[in-house]
């Protein structure tokens, strides 16, 4: 059987300056720029295989073993159509290249973490889908070019095509040509950065991000101030903090931006609640940890769900994980090497 196949993984990214609001829902054009840290693929990732064959009769997709409809998902078809078009152009230039653009696709994707629980599963999922099909089609486009396509699947997916510290520049054009992801710094620039992921709830979120964003744009008075005034300033300040490896500035901006994003959700009518009591307890935990340390050593952030991501640097790993382990000793998910941390916690924590 004539079968072509490519497999790839894509990492999760967790925004430190949040994307919330669309100025064009079809093209996924945002109302503000955003910036994220790409997590290590050893921990959270989507693994995707794309194959095509003249024997396939329709485009099909399996997510974690369950088939999802491709035809009824305009986001999926937008990504697939764009990639097929690029392959067709490549085939026109190379008449000997196999006509993959005319074959149907089968896509199989798997996350190693809870799907749609505010852990950026769609970001990793769409980034892996776009990368896998681009590899299958042997497209020459750069990650930045492909981010234009991944963005149409899920906005935040455009930031998962690159490692390290990545911005999504909102752009101005109506066709979205300049709404692209850019690497602010590679992971190697600040390899001391770490993220602890606290899965508060693995359930699917109650308000999907697109519906939530649209309600916010339509009803929140706070939202315009955030998009027009606050985020542009924070984007510059965050890029500076990353360039200078200034953790205190990075952490301060990260926590403020998470809080403002959730304030904007609360300011939406009807209000959207993504955080729960456990999330708020984690916020108090980090605030208390920083107070005990006498400086900012950890930063919390929350996407559209109750799960907490805590950023810290490796020099403070024992304190941050040790204090967490002390509070959450009975929760599973600890790695063996973390087991001794609570015991080695300095006095006062």
Residues that bind ligand PMV (CB under 6 A): 15, 18-20, 34, 122-123, 154-156, 209-210, 303-304
Cβ atoms of 19 and 168 closer than 8 Å: yes
- Residue with smaller CB distance to ligand PMV, 22 or 325: 22
- Residue with smaller CB distance to ligand PMV, 156 or 254: 156
Within 189-293, residue ranges assigned H as helices are 209-219, 221-225, 231-243, 247-266, 277-293
Between CA 158 and CA 135 the distance in angstroms is: 16
Minimal distance in Å, beta carbon 156 to ligand PMV? 3
Helix axes 74-93, 121-136, angle to 10 degrees: 20
The CA distances from residue 65 to 2, 60, 108, 110, 251, in Å, are 24, 12, 8, 7, 38
Side-chain half-sphere CA neighbours of 20 within 13 A: 35
The number of beta carbons lying within 10 Å of the beta carbon of residue 73 is 14
> How is the beta sheet containing 60-63 ordered, strand by strand?
4-11, 45-53, 104-111, 60-63, 66-68
- Residue with smaller CB distance to ligand PMV, 126 or 312: 126
Minimal distance in Å, beta carbon 265 to ligand PMV? 9
Minimal distance in Å, beta carbon 168 to ligand PMV? 8
- Residue with smaller CB distance to ligand PMV, 24 or 288: 24
Minimal distance in Å, beta carbon 122 to ligand PMV? 5
- Residue with smaller CB distance to ligand PMV, 22 or 84: 22
The number of beta carbons lying within 10 Å of the beta carbon of residue 244 is 11
Minimal distance in Å, beta carbon 19 to ligand PMV? 3
- Residue with smaller CB distance to ligand PMV, 160 or 316: 160
Between CA 301 and CA 279 the distance in angstroms is: 10
Minimal distance in Å, beta carbon 169 to ligand PMV? 13
- Residue with smaller CB distance to ligand PMV, 38 or 122: 122
Task: Compute the chain's Rg from CA coordinates.
Answer: 21
Minimal distance in Å, beta carbon 325 to ligand PMV? 27
């Amino acid at each position: 059987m004539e079968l072509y196949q490519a497999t790839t993984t894509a990492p999760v990214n967790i925004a430190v300056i949040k994307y919330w609001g669309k100025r064009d829902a079809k093209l996924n054009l945002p109302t503000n720029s955003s910036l994220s840290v790409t997590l290590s693929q050893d921990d959270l990732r989507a693994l995707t295989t794309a194959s095509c064959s003249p024997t396939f009769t329709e485009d099909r997709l399996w997510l974690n073993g369950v088939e999802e409809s491709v035809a009824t998902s305009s986001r999926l078809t937008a990504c697939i159509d764009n990639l097929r078009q690029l392959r067709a152009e490549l085939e026109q230039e190379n008449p000997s290249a196999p006509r993959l653009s005319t074959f149907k696709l089968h896509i199989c994707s798997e996350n190693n973490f809870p799907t749609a629980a505010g852990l950026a599963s769609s970001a990793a999922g769409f980034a892996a889908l776009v990368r896998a099909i681009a590899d299958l089609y042997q497209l020459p486009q750069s990650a930045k070019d492909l981010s234009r396509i991944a963005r149409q699947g899920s906005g935040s997916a455009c930031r998962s095509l690159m490692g390290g510290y990545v911005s999504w520049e909102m752009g101005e054009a109506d066709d979205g040509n300049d709404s692209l992801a850019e690497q602010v710094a590679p992971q190697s620039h600040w390899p001391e950065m770490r993220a602890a992921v606290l899965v508060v709830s693995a359930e699917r979120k109650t308000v999907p991000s697109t519906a939530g964003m649209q309600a916010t744009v339509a009803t929140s008075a706070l939202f315009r101030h955030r998009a027009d005034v606050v985020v542009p300033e924070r984007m510059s300040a965050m890029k500076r903090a990353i360039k200078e490896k200034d953790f205190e500035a990075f952490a301060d901006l990260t926590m403020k931006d998470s809080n403002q994003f959730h304030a904007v959700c609360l300011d939406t009518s009807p209000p959207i609640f993504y955080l729960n009591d456990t999330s708020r307890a984690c916020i108090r935990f980090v605030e208390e940890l920083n107070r005990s340390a006498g400086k900012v050593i950890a930063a919390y952030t929350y996407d559209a769900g109750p799960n907490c991501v805590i950023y810290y640097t490796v020099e403070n790993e024992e304190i941050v994980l040790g204090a967490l382990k002390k509070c959450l000793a009975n929760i599973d998910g600890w790695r063996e090497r973390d087991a001794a941390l609570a015991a080695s916690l300095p006095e006062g924590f």
